[in-house]
Homo-oligomer: A and B are copies of this chain.
Amino acid sequence: MSQMQNVEKQLRQMILGLEIGPGEKLTERWIESRFGASRTPVRAALLRLETEGLVGRDGRGWTVSPINLAELEQIAVYREAVEIAALRLTCSLADRSAVDVIEAMLESCDNDTPREEWHRVGMDFHIELARLSGNEFLFRAVRDAMTRLSRARWLEVRDEAALSRAWTEHRAILAAARLGDADEAARLLSVHIVGSRDRLVTSLANDRRGLRARGFAVVAA
């Protein structure tokens, strides 16, 4: 793999894994030395990550995007639009057997599955569900939205009850989709997204002080 894609992947992983805190300053030269690449691929990586919303410009320099509560709320509205559209498309397909693959994905998580895996599968559920629609744009929209939500969602993963509820809702959505009941699937997905947003925003608002103590910038709604 080229150096460029490598820097991009590793830097994204560090940001999404909170190894670099939200709000932290980045210098091209630090990244350069950290990953042993030169500035050209570093700058390419930063430009890409900027379009993903993971880093942003702070005057002349670069900053890891803070966690933004207002943004999280807007993303929930956006997700409702694109995920429901994708789900309705999927429900209208003649062959909906692919939902079973997603069901199997959910099943792969049990009590001794590491947190990281729950986190990843929780996002992949939505991403892969959108992919089934066959619409590339809806798929990308969902994938990008989940990427932006990713860091904030680490919180939800720490809440056993929330996680269990999410999995139940995921299964109900799949069940409706398997039957081709678009309205019911859409309703369940809408409830899931709104509920998920509420829990997330509430948790974050509560934990805000703690997050700031860890050096994470959190912007209020």
Interface positions of A (Cβ within 8 A of B): 40, 43-44, 47-48, 51, 71, 74-75, 77-78, 80-82, 84-86, 89, 135-138, 141, 145
Contact = CB atoms under 8 A, between A and B. Distances in A.
Nearest to A138: B78
A59 to B, nearest CB: 13
B77 A138 contact: yes
A106 B81 CA distance: 27
A78 B145 contact: no
B74 A136 contact: yes
Contacts of A136: 71, 74
Contacts of A75: 137
Nearest to A70: B136
A178 to B, nearest CB: 22
A85 B81 contact: yes
A66 to B, nearest CB: 15
Question: Nearest 6 CB-CB pairs, A to B?
Answer: A81-B85, A78-B137, A51-B51, A47-B47, A74-B135, A81-B81
A187 to B, nearest CB: 16
Contacts of A141: 78, 82, 141
Contact of A77 (B40, B51, B71, B85): B85
A85 B145 CA distance: 16
19 contacts: A43-B44, A47-B48, A48-B51, A51-B51, A71-B136, A74-B136, A75-B137, A77-B85, A77-B137, A78-B82, A78-B137, A78-B138, A78-B141, A80-B85, A81-B81, A81-B82, A81-B84, A81-B138, A137-B145
A136 B68 CA distance: 13
A43 B82 CA distance: 32
A133 to B, nearest CB: 9
Contacts of A138: 77-78, 81
Contacts of A48: 47, 51
